Amino acid sequence: MWREGAGSRCSVFANVKSRLLALSVTVGGLVLTGAVMRWLEAPLWAALRAEQPALRLDSTGAAAGQGVMLGLLGGFRAIVADFTWLRLHVIWEQRDLATTDTLVRLVTAIDPRPIYFWVNGARIMAFDLAAWRIELAGGYESMPVAQQEQLGAQQARLAIRLLEEAMTFHPANAALWIERANIELNRLHDTAAAAVSYRKAWEQPGAPAYAARLHAELLRRLGRKAEALVWLTRLHPQLPPEEEGTELVLGRIRDLERELAVPVMQTYRSPSPVPPGRPASEAR
């Protein structure tokens, strides 16, 4: 009985000792994380203060210069990035323009692996920061529309630059090209550039079909209807017959054939054809 009890106590002490050791390692790691984050942020803040209000802070490059320390983070790198993103979210809710801009660049420098950081960071830079800058300058009512567009274009280009950097880490990612296309279309109002980006998105593995459809739609807006028709007739056979977008593509083909006065004998033939000249609205 005594030996059995002693063995149990030894086992308990061993478990407690193991847990204390694990706790010590965790706390030590968090302390190191905090110290590293402060060290990384210091040069970024200095650069930001030097370059305001243009907000052309190259914080990613500054953080990359701390490559040795980032390497020492090891498994804590993802944790540091997650904490930085949570901090960014809090700062974003406060509409702190300068700090939000800095943390967007910092989090992608700490851990460039999550696509989420890049895509949402680009959206914040292109849309939120542009709106905040307009508000700081007096608001939409007092700022001329031309100046608003110029400011929005500046932020859009910074966002695209961030996405281009993301592509160096993720060279075959459709989401990055789609986000770029969205910014080019909705912020820069550059339909031609957006059409190219949607096409490049579709060329990536696992790309959603809507990227290909949007490419064709933008070609149509640009007046390049024949090119759009060729694109859609090549796209349609690649789509699953049961998918809703497949029928939509076929309807768009019929619309274009009608608009281009394509002879009936030269119209696109599909497994489930929509009669030539039938509008896309009826094909849905």
**pLDDT score of 31:** 53
With pLDDT > 70 as the criterion, what percentage of the chain qualifies?
69
Higher pLDDT, 199 or 19: 199
**Range 51-62 average pLDDT:** 39
269 has a pLDDT exceeding 50:
yes
pLDDT digits (tens, 9 = 90+) for 19-36: 545 545 554 555 555 555
pLDDT above 90 (res 12): no
pLDDT for residue 281: 45
* Low-confidence winner among 20-29, 80-89, 189-198, 227-236 (lowest mean pLDDT): 20-29
pLDDT on residue 241? 82
Contact 104, 121 (CB under 8 A): yes
| C-beta contacts of 177-186 below 8 A and 24+ residues apart | 177/201, 177/204, 177/211, 178/208, 178/211, 179/119, 179/122, 179/123, 180/122, 181/211, 181/214, 183/122, 183/126, 183/156, 183/159, 184/156, 184/160, 185/218
Greater model confidence, 57 or 232: 232
Lowest mean pLDDT among 15-29, 145-159, 186-200, 239-253: 15-29
Domains in the chain: boundaries: 25-111, 114-207, 225-284
